[in-house]
A and B are shown apart, each in its own frame.
Chain A
Amino acid sequence: MKYPLKLHVNQRTYNLEVYPSQNLRDVLREELGLTGTKEGCSTGNCGACTVIMNGMSVKSCLILALQADGKEILTVEGLSTNGQLHPLQESFIDKQAVQCGYCTPGMLMSAKALLDQNPNPTEEEVRDGLHGNICRCTGYVKIVEAVLDAAEKIGQ
């Protein structure tokens, strides 16, 4: 049977009904149409479904949608505000950190969670903070550069 679910996503509140077995990722993508959050593996390894829940990065494929009841969720669609790109988004463009783009949203969310906790990370800390997100195109090189660049911009 379905259960009521109140989700606060990107500062909008949704009242839904979902099955207990549904994961947060599928609800975001299929019920809310927020397909910026990607499906890549469903085993919690690729990180393409990473969202920020109550300030923490989590893999939305490994969370029951009902466990997110009442929580504040930020997806890639909520990263820019009033049409203004987040510094991470700007840096990903400027530093050419995007290739196929399928890992990009999850990567951005992990990077945001990292910078929220550690505004001034070293290269090693960025590599460590992103290792839960797989990218098959870039070798992570320009992604790490972009995160360091964004940290600098935010710091200014």
Chain B
Amino acid sequence: MNMFYYEPKTFQEACDLLNKYQDDAKLIAGGQSLMILLRQKVVVPEHLINLKNIKEGAYIKEEGGELKIGALTTHRQIEKSPLVREKLPAFAEVFSGIGSVQVRNWGTIGGNLAHSDPAGDLAPILMVLGARVRVISKSNSNEMPLESFITGYLETKLRASEMLQEIIIPLSKAKSGMAYEKESVRAGDMAMASAAAFIEIGSKGITRAKVVVGAVGEMPIRLENLEKELQGQGSKGELHIDPKFDQSIIRMDPYVSKEYKYEISKVKLRNVIQTAFERAKQA
């Protein structure tokens, strides 16, 4: 089959192409996941749209108390960004565990989120940070919480005519801390279990907690019960963390048992909550 190729220079041009070709088109940014699927012919698009020439799509800026990251910003740009390191050091830290330097040099944050691999490293921490994404199409532009953007295993809310433009991360003004940890066999591997936590504290302990367990389910999952239990804790220093969650969400994995994934997720959850809490205290 013939494959046609496009290099839009702006988001608008890209959206126009998407609008025209809809399901017959496939967007490629860093392609660090898509290239494998293309080679295996799992994905055989008629129209391949390369987003890498959209210069306006790669940026990191602070605006109105929020950090805004263009969807085409590479992992490496975020990892090395002085702004990110200053405002969200725990977020910057996550990147060194993603793939390898080569992958981070070319892979993009937008591609990572749109691929929606539950074992991905960015969604869990962005979810606890309350990040939103801006989804655009030829004539629309909408913001939605990342939490509702991700809908399942390799699935998002993106329709055929839509694409990601920007990731928006609110910067907490409260005394806060965050942490992400993953369990992976080797450095840079996809997670077999992961967890992220964001904690704000006040004089009476934890005022707000957000906790996500990643990798084990069809998608990263908020643990609202656990968040509620954490509420108000820690005024005397000690946290009582019981990181149990509904085990039925755990996916089959050919290499490790569901039981082990559960146990290890609990370790990760306990660790990230504790670390986020410590960081909040020091903030």
Contact = CB atoms under 8 A, between A and B. Distances in A.
A62 B31 contact: yes
B101 A132 contact: yes
Nearest to B6: A20
Chain B's interface size range is 20 to 34
Contact of B2 (A1, A47, A58, A114): A1
B4 interface: yes
Given A44-B32, A66-B5, A132 B39 contact: no
A80 interface: no
Contacts of B3: 1, 19-21
A113 B100 CA distance: 13
Main secondary structure of the interface of B (DSSP, over half): mixed
Contacts of B35: 23, 44, 61-64
Contact of B4 (A1, A47, A62, A129): A1
B76 interface: yes
Nearest to A18: B5
Interface in B42-96: 48, 50, 52, 76, 96
B5 A132 contact: no
A20 B39 CA distance: 12
A110 B5 contact: no
B252 interface: no
Nearest to B38: A21
Contacts of B32: 44, 62
A42 interface: yes
Contact of A56 (B38, B48, B106): B106
B188 to A, nearest CB: 6
Contacts of B36: 42-44, 62
Contact of B101 (A19, A44, A62, A113): A113
A89 interface: no
A21 B48 CA distance: 9
Given A23-B35, A42-B39, A131-B188, A62 B48 contact: no
Contact of A63 (B106, B187, B188): B106
Contact of A47 (B7, B39, B100): B100
A20 B45 CA distance: 11
Contacts of A69: 7
A59 B102 contact: yes
Contacts of A19: 3
Interface in B189-210: none
B42 to A, nearest CB: 12
Given A42-B39, A43-B36, A64-B31, A110 B102 contact: yes
B239 interface: no
A50 interface: yes
Contacts of A20: 3-5, 48
Given A43-B36, A62-B36, A50 B50 contact: no
Contacts of A57: 101-102, 105
Nearest to B34: A62
Contacts of B99: 44, 132
Query: Nearest 8 A-B pairs (CB), nearest first?
Result: A132-B100, A20-B5, A56-B105, A62-B35, A59-B102, A20-B3, A132-B102, A58-B106
Interface of A: 1, 3, 19-21, 23, 42-44, 47, 50, 56-59, 61-64, 66-67, 69, 110, 113-114, 128-129, 131-133
18 contacts: A1-B3, A20-B4, A21-B3, A42-B36, A43-B36, A57-B105, A58-B102, A61-B35, A62-B32, A62-B103, A63-B35, A64-B28, A64-B48, A66-B5, A66-B50, A114-B101, A132-B103, A132-B188
Interface of B: 2-5, 7, 28, 30-32, 35-36, 38-39, 48, 50, 52, 76, 96, 99-103, 105-106, 186-188
